[in-house]
Amino acid sequence: MTTLTKTEGTPAPNGAESFLSVRDLKVQFSTEDGIVRAVDGLSFDVERGKTLGIVGESGSGKSVTNLTVLGLHNPRTSTVDGEIILDGKELVTAKEKELEQLRGNKMAMIFQDPLTALSPFYTVGRQLSEPFMKHRGASKKEAKDRAIQMLEKVGIPQPKVRFDDYPHQFSGGMRQRAMIAMALMCDPDLLIADEPTTALDVTVQAQILDLLKDLQQEFGSAIIFITHDLGVISHMADDLLVMYAGRAVERGSVREVLHEPKHPYTWGLLSSMPRLDGDLDEKLTPIPGSPPSLLNPPSGCRFHPRCAFKDEVQGSLCSDTRPPLGEGRASACHLTAEQKQTIFIDKIQPRLR
Amino acid sequence: MSDNLTLPEQQGTAATSSETLLEVKGLTKHFPIFGGFPIKRKVGAVQAVDGIDLTVGYGESVGLVGESGCGKSTTGRLITRLLEPTAGSITYAGQDITHASRRQLAPVRSEIQMIFQDPYSSLNPRQTVGTIIKSPMEVNGIEPEGGREKKVRELLELVGLNPEHYNRFPHEFSGGQRQRIGVARALALNPKLIVADEPVSALDVSIQAQVVNLLQEVQKELGIAFLFIAHDLAIVRHFSQRVAVMYLGKVVEVGDRESIYNRPRHPYTHALLSAVPEVGIEDEDRERIRLAGDVPSPISPPSGCRFRTRCWKAQDKCASEEPPLVQLSGNRDGHLTACHFPEDPTTQRDEDVVLDPALKVLEEHASED
């Protein structure tokens, strides 16, 4: 098999410096009903060659964050504050021309629904070749060779023939493979995968997830993996960010967050999920209520109206003050570390097994 | 003939699954494909459901799992008679309803209800919640004690909504609440069987558990039998006493929950279980099976065993002979498998099965380095 050589500097696998750094990001949309604060003060870092998982329910701002990183938000209806630094370059204030240079080249995206993300008018081959020709100045022939090579890499049978097919001639799993091939065409340093397997069946999902993982090892890209499925994330990510109503509520390595969660929302998520090996007589413990509207989000901690443990905090701290999210392994909650520890051991852990 | 369909009062009593409420035999649905010019002729058929056998007992909850396109939703719609079966028979409480006419069906319709997947498109946006829940009673001419409105308010309370929401419209509710309205509507006629077609898959994770718990309460307290159609294996396990696994229009394995999840025999069940991403289970503890490609098209399904094109154990016999759904030696009663070369009844395996060509190449490269 042809070796794919990296054209840019090889990533430092130990990667002490963060490659993408988002600081205090705020995204607001003005709508007829008022201002929607889709993302409200979000900070995170992604290291080279590592995978950051972002989990949250629909409307928690996880997709908006990543569209903003790529500069795909509509500048007329949205305002963006804060900093997004990709490899030393500030993206929030960057011009559209500069972003165009980066998109599809240095950073690429895999969308949830490959049928709507691929254009039905052009062949898969042409859609794959285009970014390579644009960013690398390659000829049509070179781009075609590269595209066929990538299609083979992601496991599309008879890539030479399928190059001239249209997206509708592909099955769902194959389309998603083609999307991955397209994202990897220019060997991006950052890959954003927004629910890449949600539209797929479980057996196909397992294939695609393993494929992404193996490809990452070969290409060394950093991946931001967005999903609502904690099971998927536990297999894919190194680090994990849990989002709720536009804010990060918990951060840490996947093991830490899923095995010793420290935020009531993460507890709720984990104990509301049935498991394949769980206790059958145990009832599921849902989180009461439903996610808040971002037009009029709750004051203080945004989770407090649904939180089962807010009474343990003195006074009205939960409804008045926004709990800060520290650096590194942290959770944004007013409960003290000891309280969290006792609640987790006494009440949460028994539910998880 | 329809008068004798009224069942003995089952509600509130403990669920007994010894008696059969619904029996499906050789149920088949082929959707014709027309083509040609100028006269359109039938050129083929989508064999969505192709000869399945299934039973649901009184008060029993049966899960139906499988990937998209395997015919599980079509099965649900055939049983509720929203679709006309091509062949086979559906027997409900001893009565053959396979090709029953509208009039013959009328008394049965109220006893078989359906909960739909999408709570956004299954509620009429122009009707109030009260009207939506009331209309099945109006259609069937049922006048409950104390009036329909009182009954609706009771139902709203039962499903965890405020009875004062009677005059609100669906858009004022969140996804989870809408699904509760759908449940209330299904309960309005005191059904004996509810076909729930992916009732929670459109909901957020934190809301799913609320609806699953509600359905479970309804099932246990009212003694209603459920056919629970879903693709999420963990939720089906949680909800169903018996589970049927479908692949490309056929039931490949059926059995009690414990057998299917811990002692599966069919290779497809193995593949399906190993593909579920799970929190807290380390990769080393489970078998790893990665199939190649997607499910084949139901327009021209493979001959013999339909799974053979993606199966790692397939041999010549699989292509020529269709495996019957039988009880294999060592299996419990009622645990039936359709396979010529079944797997061991365990969910562990020494060696990974990786059929996907791209994965194979990448992993060979990685192990060489």
Domain boundaries in chain A?
117-185, 266-352
Residue of chain B minimizing CA distance to A235? B277
- Mean of all residue pLDDT scores within chain B: 87
The predicted structure's pLDDT at residue A17: 65
Please name which of A75, A83, A137 lies closest in space to residue A105, comparing C-alpha atoms: A137
Contact at CB, A211 and B295, closer than 8 angstroms: no
pLDDT at res. A319: 87
Compare CB distances from B212 to A201, A207, A284 and report the shortest one's residue.
Answer: A284
Do the chains contact at B272 and A202, CB–CB below 8 Å? yes
Evaluate whether A112 touches A175 at the Cβ level (below 8 Å): no
Sketch the domain layout of chain B as residue ranges: 248-368
pLDDT at A1: 42
Helix axes B129-139, B175-187, angle to 10 degrees: 20
DSSP A103: B
Which residues of chain A lie closer than 8 angstroms to B283, CB-CB? Answer: 235
Alpha carbon of residue A314 to chain centroid: 35
Reported as a single tens digit per residue, the pLDDT across B338-359 is 999 998 888 787 788 888 888 8
Residue type, A273: M
What residues of chain A lie within 8 A of the CB of B235, using their CB?
Answer: 274
A203 CB neighbours in chain B (<8 A) are: 67, 271-272, 275, 291
State whether B356 and A155 contact (CB < 8 Å).
yes
Between B205, B272, B279, which is nearest A203 by CB?
B272
What is the structure's pLDDT at A15? 42
- The Cα of A15 is separated from the nearest Cα of chain B by a number of Å equal to 21
| pLDDT band, very low/low/confident/very high, at B243 (cuts 50, 70, 90) | very high
CATH topology of domain B248-368: Rossmann fold (3.40.50)
Residue A12's pLDDT is what? 39
Q: Which chain A residues in 211-250 lie under 8 Å from chain B, judged by CB atoms?
A: 211, 214-215, 217-218, 228-232, 234-235
User: What would the pLDDT profile of A100-139 be if each residue is shown by its tens digit?
Assistant: 888 888 899 998 888 888 999 999 999 999 999 989 999 9
Q: Which residues of A touch B290 (CB under 8 A)?
A: 206-207, 210
Evaluate if residue B279 carries a pLDDT over 70.
yes
The residue that leads in pLDDT, B146 or A315, is B146
Q: Is A246 left (phi over 0), alpha (psi -120 to 50) or beta?
A: left
Q: Phi first, then psi: what are they for B268, rounded to 5°? A: -65, -40
DSSP H stretches of helix in chain B? 72-79, 102-109, 129-139, 148-158, 175-187, 205-222, 233-239, 257-262, 267-275, 316-320, 357-368
What ipTM was predicted for this assembly?
Answer: 0.81
Q: Which residues of B touch A157 (CB under 8 A)?
A: 293, 357
Give the strand pairing for B41-57 and B20-35: antiparallel
- pLDDT at site A85: 92
Note the pLDDT of residue B284: 58
For A170-226, what is each residue's pLDDT tens digit? 888 889 889 999 998 998 999 999 988 887 888 888 888 988 888 898 888 899 999
CA distance B302 to A273: 36
**Are residues A275 and B234, on separate chains, in Cβ contact within 8 Å?**
yes
CA nearest to A170 within chain B? B294
* Closest alpha carbon within chain A to B290: A207
